[in-house]
Amino acid sequence: MRSITRRHFLSGSMAVAATIAATPLGFANSITPLQLRTGTRTIEVNGRSATVLGIEGPGNRQGLFLDPGEDFNVRLVNGLNEATIIHWHGQIPPNEQDGVPDLPQPLLKPEEIRSFSFKPHAGTHWMHAHLPHQELGLLAAPLIVRTAEDLAADRQEIVMFLQDFSFKSPQELMEGLEDAHAAMGHGAPSTAANTHGGHGGHGGHGGHGSPSAETTAAVHDINDIDFDAYLVNSRTLDDPETHQVEKGGRVLLRVINAGSATVFFIDTGELDARLLAVDGQPIEPVEDRLFPVAMGQRLDLEVAIPAKGGAFPILALREGAPERTGLVLATPGAKIKRLPGSSAAKAPIMDSSLEGRLLARSPLEASGDTQVTEVLLGGEMSPYEWSINGKRWPNHTPIAAKSGQRSEFILRNMSGMGHPMHLHGHIFQVVEIAGQRINGARRDTVYVPANETITIAFDGGETASWMFHCHHIPHMATGMMTLVEVS
Ligand code: C2O
Ligand code: CU
């Protein structure tokens, strides 16, 4: 049983502080860079061992955890035997350090070292390769930047890093997608429901030439890859991570959906949870026990452990499906029941109902002069191709924005699948959902459900080309990516 109490956690950060100079405020300010190294690691998936990719940071821990006042001062070493490049998702570094292939820096060759240095943004963020096959290979890790309030709060911090895993190689997975959908031979778009969970029952209809009622536009596609396992901190429910917690204590769950192609619902079970931030950006707290999180997004959830104690599984349910994963919070001596990796009931399907309840803690100031751009999200399962404004990356027409000036993007999803859209270099605000103006969350990744429209607003940042793409990796890999050119 692994347990990280708040005390361990503080002494851990003090150990780090001892090796670096303290500022007059008492906060650590690193002088020697912190090392991150990409490489392979072995994980255990349902009794089978698997070699996957990862990013090891200080203390042999995956990823990076920074205390208040610490700079992002990193020496990245490529320990893989192939080229890679790492993007700091949620951070706004100088464009040069954004970690996107050739925009503007080239990939790091094997054993190449590159330095990064910038002021980090606080919150729950993450880092990952910006190459689809490596993202499918789990080359990702947490990037947590704590605030002074985090350290002062009497609560334990636990990261829930969600991933989807397959024993197939990334290449096989991508080929499988393209073949499976091509083999169905449907002429109409988005009729792949037959092969997916939830719609398997009507295979007997035959007559693929004329779509049945179930395969018309009303059917939305979810989960276009069936993974072999769903992971929290690299483990399945077979052998979940168990954290010892205090009776009557509080826990901050930093949830990161690093899945390639899976939306999850976080189910806090018996515990009431307060959603405090999304994508690292504070919101007016929202109470619930079930919260959707799309690929690329993060949730900061605070839960209170009952005074009577016990064992409390925190689950991550695969959208629209019975599979699930999770970790367990347990007070000393509590009996921990084993939970199957699949439940009798299917999880719900993500829509914009949670997004519509979120209110930013620091919304954008009103701006008179706004440039409005319509962005069409398109694509279909057969052929398996996804686009932005009708173009498939590397073919693209950059979207123009002006530095220091307000832009609004009307994201119109013309397709039968939802898309988590991520903009680099900016923290936008969700300002309209299905025609309803809202003072919504600030964030960097917004989920646009099938056939819905969501508008985001932001002030143009550094004069540069910034990536804008879907964070569903097979969608991104088959074209759903473009650039926002800030001039
Ligand atoms: Cu998290 Cu361009 O990505
Ligand atoms: Cu997509």
96 phi/psi in degrees, rounded to 5: -60, -25
Does residue 344 sit in the same domain as residue 375? no
Atom of ligand 1 nearest to the CA of 89: 1
We report the CATH number of the domain holding residue 291 as 2.60.40.420
Does residue 199 register a pLDDT over 50? no
Ligand 1 centroid to 185 CA: how many Å? 32
Predicted pLDDT of residue 183: 55
Q: Is the CB of 235 under 6 A from ligand 1?
A: no
Q: Which residue has the higher pLDDT, 164 or 186?
A: 164
> Which atom number of ligand 1 is nearest to the Cα of residue 100?
2
Q: Which atom of ligand 1 is nearest to the CA of 424?
A: 2
Q: Residue 179: which pLDDT band, with cuts at 50, 70 and 90?
A: confident
Same domain, 207 and 92: no
CA of 101 to the centre of ligand 1 (A): 11
Say whether both 231 and 342 belong to one domain. Answer: yes
Give a yes or no: residue 53 inside a domain.
yes
- Does residue 298 line the site of ligand 1, with CB under 6 A? no
Q: How confident is the model at residue 381 (pLDDT cuts 50, 70, 90)?
A: confident
Alpha-carbon gap, residue 362 to 355, rounded angstroms: 16
Ligand 1 center to residue 128 CA distance, Å?
Answer: 7
The strand pairing partners of 422, in sequence order, are 445, 469
User: Which ligand has its closest atom nearest to the C-alpha of 86?
Assistant: 1
Nearest CA to ligand 1 atom 3: 89
State the distance from the centre of ligand 2 to the C-alpha of 448, rounded, in angstroms: 9
Is residue 363 one of the residues assigned to a domain?
A: no
- Does residue 218 register a pLDDT over 90? no
Residue 390 lies in a domain: yes
| Residue 296 belongs to a domain | yes
Last residue within a domain, chosen from 292, 324, 353: 353
CA distances from 373 to 64, 409, 412, 464 (A): 36, 5, 11, 18
| Same-domain pairing of 410 and 323 | no
Ligand 1 centroid from CA 412, angstroms: 20
In a domain, 242, yes or no: yes
For residue 337, pLDDT over 50 is answered with yes
CA 93–ligand 1 middle distance (angstroms)? 13
**Pocket flag, ligand 1, residue 125 (CB < 6 Å):** no
Same domain, 10 and 98: yes
Is 117's pLDDT higher than 70?
Answer: yes
- Per-residue pLDDT, averaged over 27-52, amounts to 88
Q: Does 317 fall in a domain? A: yes
- Ligand 1 centre and the CA of 269: distance in Å? 31
What is the structure's pLDDT at 87? 98
Pick the range with the lowest mean pLDDT from 224-228, 230-234, 266-270, 275-279: 224-228
User: What is the count of structural domains for the chain?
Assistant: 3
Q: Is the pLDDT of residue 198 over 80?
A: no
Task: Establish if 362 belongs to a structural domain.
Answer: no
Residues 195 and 74 in one domain: no
Write down the mean pLDDT value for the chain. 88
The continuous run of DSSP H or E covering 16 comes out as helix 6-18
* Residue of minimum CA distance from atom 1 in ligand 1: 89
Q: What is the pLDDT of residue 447?
A: 98
* Whether residues 57 and 191 fall in one domain: no
pLDDT score recorded for residue 353: 97
* Calpha distance 457→406 (Å, rounded): 7
Residue type, 113: I
* C-alpha of residue 392 to centroid of ligand 1, in Å: 17
Is residue 122 predicted with pLDDT exceeding 60? yes
Q: Do 181 and 133 lie in a common domain?
A: no
Evaluate: CB of 296 within 6 angstroms of ligand 1: yes
Cβ(52)–Cβ(43) under 8 Å?
yes
CB burial of 442-459 (b: ≥16 within 10 Å; e: otherwise) equals bbbbbbbbbbbbbbbbbb
pLDDT tens string 126-139: 999 999 999 999 99
Give me the residues near ligand 2 (ion), CB cutoff below 5 Å.
Answer: 419, 470, 472, 475
Q: Is the pLDDT of residue 4 over 70?
A: no
Q: Cβ(130) to ligand 1 under 6 A?
A: yes
* Mean pLDDT, residues 148-171: 96
Ligand nearest to the CA of 386: 2
User: How far is the C-alpha of 296 from the C-alpha of 386, rounded, in Å?
Assistant: 18
The ligand that comes nearest to the alpha carbon of residue 378 is 2
**Structural domain includes residue 360:** no
Q: Where do the DSSP E strands lie in 130-193?
A: 140-145, 156-165
Percent of the chain with pLDDT over 70: 85
From 353, 381, 411, the end of a domain falls on 353
Cα(138) to centroid(ligand 1), Å: 14
Check pocket membership of 424 for ligand 1, CB cut-off 6 A.
yes
Q: Is the pLDDT of residue 412 over 50?
A: yes
Please give the average per-residue pLDDT across 2-30, as a whole number: 40
Token pair for residue 434?
A: 């299905």
User: How far are the Cα atoms of 1, 207, 393, 444 from residue 278, in angstroms, in the given order?
Assistant: 29, 45, 28, 9
Q: Is the pLDDT of residue 222 over 50?
A: yes
DSSP state letters, 349-388: ---SHHHHH--BSSPPPP-S-EEEEEEEEEEETTTTEEEE
Q: Which tokens hold the place of 429? A: 């605000």
Residue 181 has a pLDDT of 63
Examine the domain organization and report whether 333 and 441 are in the same domain.
no
Model pLDDT for residues 428-447, shown as the tens digit of each residue: 999 999 999 999 999 999 99
Is the domain of 131 the same as that of 186? no
**154 contact partners, CB below 8 Å, separation of at least 6:** 6, 249, 250
Mean pLDDT value across residues 64-76? 97
Question: Are 102 and 206 contained in the same domain?
Answer: no
pLDDT at 215 over 60: no
Question: Is the shortest distance between the CB of 89 and ligand 1 below 6 Å?
Answer: yes
Residue 145 has pLDDT above 90, yes or no: yes
What average pLDDT score do residues 77-94 get?
Answer: 98
If asked whether residues 292 and 414 sit together in one domain, one would say: no
The more confidently predicted of residues 164 and 24 is 164
412 lines ligand 1 (CB under 6 A): no
pTM for the full predicted model: 0.88
> pLDDT by residue (tens digit) across 273-312?
999 999 999 999 999 999 999 999 999 999 999 999 999 9
Pocket of ligand 1 contains residue 467 by CB under 6 Å: yes
Please report, as a single letter, which amino acid is at residue 9: F
Is beta strand 399-401 parallel, antiparallel or unpaired with respect to 481-486? parallel
In order, the DSSP letters of 264-310 are EEEE-TTS-EEEEEETTEEEEEEEESEEEE-TT-EEEEEEE--TT--
Residue-number span of the structural domain to which 427 is assigned: 370-486
